[in-house]
Amino acid sequence: MLTASHLTRRFDTRVAVDDVTFELAPGEIFALLGPNGAGKTTTLRMLAGLIAPTSGTVHVGGEPMTASASHLRGRIGFLTEAPGLWDRLTVFENLIVYARLQGVVPAQRAVNAALELFGIANRASDPTAQLSKGLKQRVALARTLLHDPAIVLLDEPTAGLDPESAHDTRALILRLRGENRTVILSTHNLDEVDRVADRVGVLRSRLIALDTPSALRSRLFGKRIVITLEGPAREYDAAVRSTGATDVTVDGDRLSIGVDGDTVIAPTLVTALVNAGARIVSVIPEERPLEEVYLRLIKDESP
Protein backbone atom coordinates (compact mmCIF):
# COMPACT_ATOMS: atom_id res chain seq x y z
CA MET A 1 0.00 0.00 0.00
CA LEU A 2 2.74 2.46 0.98
CA THR A 3 6.40 2.02 0.22
CA ALA A 4 9.27 4.24 1.26
CA SER A 5 12.44 3.30 -0.53
CA HIS A 6 15.83 4.69 0.52
CA LEU A 7 14.24 8.00 1.53
CA THR A 8 16.83 10.65 2.23
CA ARG A 9 16.26 14.31 2.93
CA ARG A 10 18.95 16.91 3.46
CA PHE A 11 18.46 20.49 4.61
CA ASP A 12 21.60 22.26 3.45
CA THR A 13 24.34 20.17 5.04
CA ARG A 14 22.17 18.53 7.69
CA VAL A 15 20.79 15.08 6.91
CA ALA A 16 17.32 14.95 8.47
CA VAL A 17 16.33 11.56 7.10
CA ASP A 18 18.90 9.07 5.92
CA ASP A 19 18.16 6.10 3.70
CA VAL A 20 14.86 5.06 5.28
CA THR A 21 13.11 2.07 3.74
CA PHE A 22 9.91 0.32 4.76
CA GLU A 23 6.80 -1.14 3.22
CA LEU A 24 3.38 -1.05 4.83
CA ALA A 25 0.40 -3.29 4.17
CA PRO A 26 -3.30 -2.39 4.29
CA GLY A 27 -4.67 -2.63 7.82
CA GLU A 28 -1.25 -2.18 9.39
CA ILE A 29 -0.47 0.29 12.15
CA PHE A 30 3.12 1.42 12.01
CA ALA A 31 4.60 3.61 14.75
CA LEU A 32 7.52 5.90 14.09
CA LEU A 33 9.50 6.56 17.23
CA GLY A 34 12.49 8.76 17.79
CA PRO A 35 13.80 11.69 19.79
CA ASN A 36 12.97 15.27 18.84
CA GLY A 37 14.67 16.15 15.57
CA ALA A 38 15.03 12.51 14.56
CA GLY A 39 13.23 13.11 11.26
CA LYS A 40 9.76 11.77 12.07
CA THR A 41 7.82 14.80 10.84
CA THR A 42 10.09 15.15 7.81
CA THR A 43 9.43 11.50 6.97
CA LEU A 44 5.67 12.00 7.31
CA ARG A 45 5.83 15.11 5.12
CA MET A 46 7.68 13.17 2.43
CA LEU A 47 5.13 10.36 2.63
CA ALA A 48 2.31 12.93 2.31
CA GLY A 49 3.94 14.51 -0.72
CA LEU A 50 4.45 17.84 1.04
CA ILE A 51 8.19 17.86 0.60
CA ALA A 52 10.30 15.98 -1.88
CA PRO A 53 13.01 13.57 -0.81
CA THR A 54 16.55 14.53 -1.75
CA SER A 55 16.83 10.95 -2.95
CA GLY A 56 14.71 7.84 -2.71
CA THR A 57 11.06 7.34 -3.54
CA VAL A 58 7.59 7.02 -2.03
CA HIS A 59 5.03 4.84 -3.75
CA VAL A 60 1.33 4.90 -2.92
CA GLY A 61 -0.50 1.87 -4.24
CA GLY A 62 2.36 1.36 -6.69
CA GLU A 63 2.30 4.95 -8.02
CA PRO A 64 5.26 7.22 -7.37
CA MET A 65 4.50 10.21 -5.16
CA THR A 66 5.72 13.36 -6.85
CA ALA A 67 4.94 17.06 -6.50
CA SER A 68 2.60 16.84 -9.49
CA ALA A 69 0.78 13.72 -8.26
CA SER A 70 -1.89 15.74 -6.48
CA HIS A 71 -4.44 12.93 -6.89
CA LEU A 72 -2.28 10.71 -4.66
CA ARG A 73 -2.55 13.26 -1.86
CA GLY A 74 -6.29 12.58 -2.01
CA ARG A 75 -5.61 8.98 -0.96
CA ILE A 76 -3.81 10.11 2.14
CA GLY A 77 -5.19 11.69 5.27
CA PHE A 78 -2.56 13.68 7.16
CA LEU A 79 -3.15 14.80 10.72
CA THR A 80 -0.50 17.44 11.23
CA GLU A 81 1.18 18.11 14.56
CA ALA A 82 -0.95 21.23 15.10
CA PRO A 83 -4.69 20.80 14.45
CA GLY A 84 -4.44 23.60 11.87
CA LEU A 85 -8.06 24.74 12.05
CA TRP A 86 -9.31 28.13 10.94
CA ASP A 87 -10.18 29.62 14.30
CA ARG A 88 -12.66 32.19 13.07
CA LEU A 89 -14.69 29.60 11.16
CA THR A 90 -17.12 27.17 12.72
CA VAL A 91 -16.50 23.45 12.98
CA PHE A 92 -18.89 22.87 10.08
CA GLU A 93 -17.28 25.54 7.91
CA ASN A 94 -13.83 24.08 8.55
CA LEU A 95 -14.94 20.63 7.48
CA ILE A 96 -17.00 21.70 4.48
CA VAL A 97 -14.00 23.51 2.98
CA TYR A 98 -11.91 20.35 3.24
CA ALA A 99 -14.74 18.19 1.90
CA ARG A 100 -14.81 20.42 -1.19
CA LEU A 101 -11.03 20.53 -1.53
CA GLN A 102 -10.98 16.74 -1.37
CA GLY A 103 -13.78 16.47 -3.92
CA VAL A 104 -16.13 14.64 -1.55
CA VAL A 105 -19.66 14.42 -3.01
CA PRO A 106 -22.06 15.35 -1.57
CA ALA A 107 -19.89 17.43 0.73
CA GLN A 108 -22.58 18.46 3.19
CA ARG A 109 -23.73 14.91 3.84
CA ALA A 110 -20.14 13.73 4.37
CA VAL A 111 -19.52 16.53 6.85
CA ASN A 112 -22.72 15.80 8.76
CA ALA A 113 -21.75 12.12 8.93
CA ALA A 114 -18.27 13.03 10.20
CA LEU A 115 -19.73 15.35 12.81
CA GLU A 116 -21.92 12.51 14.10
CA LEU A 117 -19.13 9.94 13.94
CA PHE A 118 -16.75 12.08 15.96
CA GLY A 119 -19.40 13.23 18.43
CA ILE A 120 -19.07 16.90 17.58
CA ALA A 121 -22.43 17.52 15.90
CA ASN A 122 -23.57 19.62 18.85
CA ARG A 123 -20.59 21.95 18.35
CA ALA A 124 -20.94 22.23 14.57
CA SER A 125 -21.86 25.90 14.63
CA ASP A 126 -19.24 26.94 17.18
CA PRO A 127 -16.10 28.75 16.03
CA THR A 128 -13.19 26.37 16.49
CA ALA A 129 -11.41 29.02 18.58
CA GLN A 130 -13.92 28.22 21.33
CA LEU A 131 -13.11 24.50 21.43
CA SER A 132 -10.91 22.70 23.95
CA LYS A 133 -7.67 21.15 22.72
CA GLY A 134 -9.26 17.69 22.76
CA LEU A 135 -12.22 18.83 20.70
CA LYS A 136 -9.97 20.63 18.24
CA GLN A 137 -8.04 17.41 17.79
CA ARG A 138 -11.29 15.57 17.19
CA VAL A 139 -12.25 18.08 14.50
CA ALA A 140 -8.79 17.71 12.94
CA LEU A 141 -9.20 13.92 12.95
CA ALA A 142 -12.62 14.28 11.33
CA ARG A 143 -11.01 16.48 8.67
CA THR A 144 -8.23 13.92 8.16
CA LEU A 145 -10.69 11.10 7.52
CA LEU A 146 -13.41 13.06 5.72
CA HIS A 147 -12.42 11.79 2.28
CA ASP A 148 -12.08 8.17 3.37
CA PRO A 149 -8.30 7.90 2.79
CA ALA A 150 -6.64 4.50 2.44
CA ILE A 151 -3.52 5.79 4.21
CA VAL A 152 -3.64 7.81 7.41
CA LEU A 153 -0.60 9.70 8.71
CA LEU A 154 -0.89 10.87 12.29
CA ASP A 155 1.74 13.21 13.69
CA GLU A 156 1.61 13.01 17.49
CA PRO A 157 -2.17 12.55 17.58
CA THR A 158 -2.49 12.37 21.38
CA ALA A 159 0.10 14.97 22.39
CA GLY A 160 -1.33 17.22 25.07
CA LEU A 161 -4.69 15.46 25.23
CA ASP A 162 -6.40 14.51 28.47
CA PRO A 163 -6.58 10.76 29.19
CA GLU A 164 -10.15 10.42 27.95
CA SER A 165 -9.46 12.18 24.65
CA ALA A 166 -6.25 10.17 24.23
CA HIS A 167 -8.19 6.97 24.86
CA ASP A 168 -10.80 7.95 22.27
CA THR A 169 -8.05 8.70 19.76
CA ARG A 170 -6.43 5.32 20.35
CA ALA A 171 -9.80 3.64 19.91
CA LEU A 172 -10.15 5.47 16.61
CA ILE A 173 -6.70 4.33 15.47
CA LEU A 174 -7.63 0.73 16.21
CA ARG A 175 -10.89 1.19 14.33
CA LEU A 176 -8.91 2.40 11.31
CA ARG A 177 -7.01 -0.87 11.31
CA GLY A 178 -10.36 -2.69 11.35
CA GLU A 179 -11.31 -0.70 8.26
CA ASN A 180 -8.17 -1.99 6.53
CA ARG A 181 -6.50 1.41 6.37
CA THR A 182 -2.76 1.79 6.66
CA VAL A 183 -1.88 3.96 9.62
CA ILE A 184 1.45 5.60 10.35
CA LEU A 185 1.74 7.08 13.76
CA SER A 186 4.49 9.39 14.92
CA THR A 187 4.56 9.68 18.68
CA HIS A 188 6.61 9.94 21.84
CA ASN A 189 3.99 7.98 23.77
CA LEU A 190 5.51 4.50 24.06
CA ASP A 191 2.61 3.12 26.02
CA GLU A 192 0.34 4.13 23.17
CA VAL A 193 2.61 2.41 20.67
CA ASP A 194 2.58 -0.75 22.76
CA ARG A 195 -1.20 -0.73 22.71
CA VAL A 196 -1.85 -0.10 19.06
CA ALA A 197 1.17 -0.62 16.81
CA ASP A 198 1.74 -3.74 14.73
CA ARG A 199 5.26 -2.65 13.87
CA VAL A 200 7.63 -0.05 15.19
CA GLY A 201 10.32 1.93 13.43
CA VAL A 202 12.86 3.72 15.57
CA LEU A 203 14.24 6.69 13.74
CA ARG A 204 17.34 8.65 14.42
CA SER A 205 17.78 10.09 10.95
CA ARG A 206 18.40 6.46 10.00
CA LEU A 207 15.90 3.75 10.76
CA ILE A 208 17.81 2.02 13.55
CA ALA A 209 15.18 -0.63 14.20
CA LEU A 210 12.10 -1.90 12.39
CA ASP A 211 10.07 -4.78 13.76
CA THR A 212 7.13 -5.78 15.90
CA PRO A 213 7.32 -4.62 19.53
CA SER A 214 7.66 -8.19 20.80
CA ALA A 215 10.39 -9.02 18.30
CA LEU A 216 12.32 -5.92 19.37
CA ARG A 217 11.99 -6.97 23.00
CA SER A 218 13.24 -10.45 22.21
CA ARG A 219 16.10 -9.13 20.16
CA LEU A 220 17.31 -6.75 22.83
CA PHE A 221 16.49 -8.52 26.04
CA GLY A 222 15.86 -12.14 25.03
CA LYS A 223 12.75 -14.07 26.04
CA ARG A 224 12.15 -14.38 29.72
CA ILE A 225 9.50 -15.86 31.94
CA VAL A 226 8.67 -14.82 35.46
CA ILE A 227 7.58 -17.45 37.95
CA THR A 228 6.01 -16.22 41.16
CA LEU A 229 6.08 -18.62 44.12
CA GLU A 230 4.49 -18.82 47.52
CA GLY A 231 7.37 -17.85 49.75
CA PRO A 232 10.99 -16.95 49.02
CA ALA A 233 12.22 -18.01 45.60
CA ARG A 234 15.92 -18.12 46.54
CA GLU A 235 15.80 -21.73 47.77
CA TYR A 236 14.59 -22.93 44.37
CA ASP A 237 17.41 -21.34 42.40
CA ALA A 238 19.28 -24.64 42.17
CA ALA A 239 16.20 -26.49 40.96
CA VAL A 240 15.79 -23.99 38.16
CA ARG A 241 19.44 -24.15 37.15
CA SER A 242 19.23 -27.98 37.09
CA THR A 243 17.08 -27.64 33.95
CA GLY A 244 19.97 -25.99 32.13
CA ALA A 245 18.81 -22.41 32.65
CA THR A 246 21.77 -20.14 33.26
CA ASP A 247 20.22 -16.66 33.17
CA VAL A 248 18.30 -16.68 36.45
CA THR A 249 17.58 -13.73 38.72
CA VAL A 250 15.79 -13.95 42.05
CA ASP A 251 13.77 -11.14 43.52
CA GLY A 252 11.80 -12.01 46.68
CA ASP A 253 9.16 -14.52 45.64
CA ARG A 254 9.89 -14.10 41.92
CA LEU A 255 12.24 -15.94 39.58
CA SER A 256 13.07 -14.30 36.26
CA ILE A 257 14.53 -16.80 33.81
CA GLY A 258 15.95 -16.28 30.33
CA VAL A 259 14.52 -18.95 28.04
CA ASP A 260 16.35 -18.15 24.79
CA GLY A 261 13.32 -18.82 22.64
CA ASP A 262 13.16 -22.54 23.57
CA THR A 263 9.45 -23.17 23.92
CA VAL A 264 9.77 -26.45 25.85
CA ILE A 265 11.76 -25.03 28.70
CA ALA A 266 8.81 -23.43 30.51
CA PRO A 267 7.03 -26.72 31.27
CA THR A 268 10.41 -28.21 32.23
CA LEU A 269 11.01 -25.37 34.68
CA VAL A 270 7.56 -25.77 36.19
CA THR A 271 8.06 -29.52 36.60
CA ALA A 272 11.45 -28.99 38.25
CA LEU A 273 10.03 -26.45 40.67
CA VAL A 274 7.03 -28.59 41.58
CA ASN A 275 9.32 -31.61 42.14
CA ALA A 276 11.44 -29.43 44.42
CA GLY A 277 8.34 -28.64 46.48
CA ALA A 278 7.68 -25.13 45.25
CA ARG A 279 4.13 -23.83 45.24
CA ILE A 280 3.67 -21.85 42.04
CA VAL A 281 1.40 -18.80 41.99
CA SER A 282 1.88 -17.74 38.37
CA VAL A 283 4.01 -18.29 35.27
CA ILE A 284 4.01 -15.42 32.82
CA PRO A 285 6.21 -14.27 29.96
CA GLU A 286 8.14 -11.18 30.95
CA GLU A 287 7.15 -8.10 28.97
CA ARG A 288 9.87 -5.48 29.16
CA PRO A 289 8.38 -2.05 28.81
CA LEU A 290 8.76 -0.69 25.30
CA GLU A 291 10.41 2.30 26.90
CA GLU A 292 13.36 0.08 27.89
CA VAL A 293 13.58 -1.24 24.35
CA TYR A 294 13.49 2.26 22.94
CA LEU A 295 16.04 3.67 25.36
CA ARG A 296 18.40 0.78 24.70
CA LEU A 297 18.15 1.31 20.95
CA ILE A 298 18.70 5.04 21.24
CA LYS A 299 21.58 4.55 23.67
CA ASP A 300 23.26 2.04 21.38
CA GLU A 301 23.03 4.57 18.56
CA SER A 302 24.36 7.50 20.58
CA PRO A 303 27.69 8.86 19.33
Considering only the stretches 55-63, 77-85, 205-213, 238-246, report the one whose residues sit in contact with another protein under the rule CB under 8 A.
77-85
Considering only the stretches 25-33, 96-104, 276-284, 293-301, report the one whose residues sit in contact with another protein under the rule CB under 8 A.
96-104
Q: Which of 80, 108, 214, 256 binds another protein (CB under 8 A)?
A: 80
Kindly state whether residue 109 participates in binding another protein, applying the rule CB under 8 A.
no
Query: Residue 126 CB, nearest distance to another protein (Å)?
Result: 13
Q: Which of 37, 61, 64, 84 binds another protein (CB under 8 A)?
A: 84
**Smaller CB separation from another protein, 186 or 278:** 186
DSSP bridge pairs for 238:
none
Kindly state whether residue 73 participates in binding another protein, applying the rule CB under 8 A.
yes
Kindly state whether residue 11 participates in binding another protein, applying the rule CB under 8 A.
yes
Kindly state whether residue 246 participates in binding another protein, applying the rule CB under 8 A.
no
Residues between 33 and 72 that touch another protein (CB under 8 A): 45, 48-52, 67, 70-71
Kindly state whether residue 93 participates in binding another protein, applying the rule CB under 8 A.
yes
**Smaller CB separation from another protein, 78 or 294:** 78
Kindly state whether residue 76 participates in binding another protein, applying the rule CB under 8 A.
yes
Q: In this structure, what are the phi and psi dihedrals at residue 207, rounded to the nearest 5 degrees?
A: -85, 105
Q: Which of 7, 8, 60, 98 binds another protein (CB under 8 A)?
A: 98
Residues between 142 and 171 that touch another protein (CB under 8 A): 143
| Angstrom distance (rounded) from CA 77 to CA 114 | 14
Task: Point out which residues bind another protein (CB under 8 A).
Answer: 11, 45, 48-52, 67, 70-71, 73-74, 76, 78, 80, 82, 84-89, 93, 97-98, 100-103, 127, 140, 143
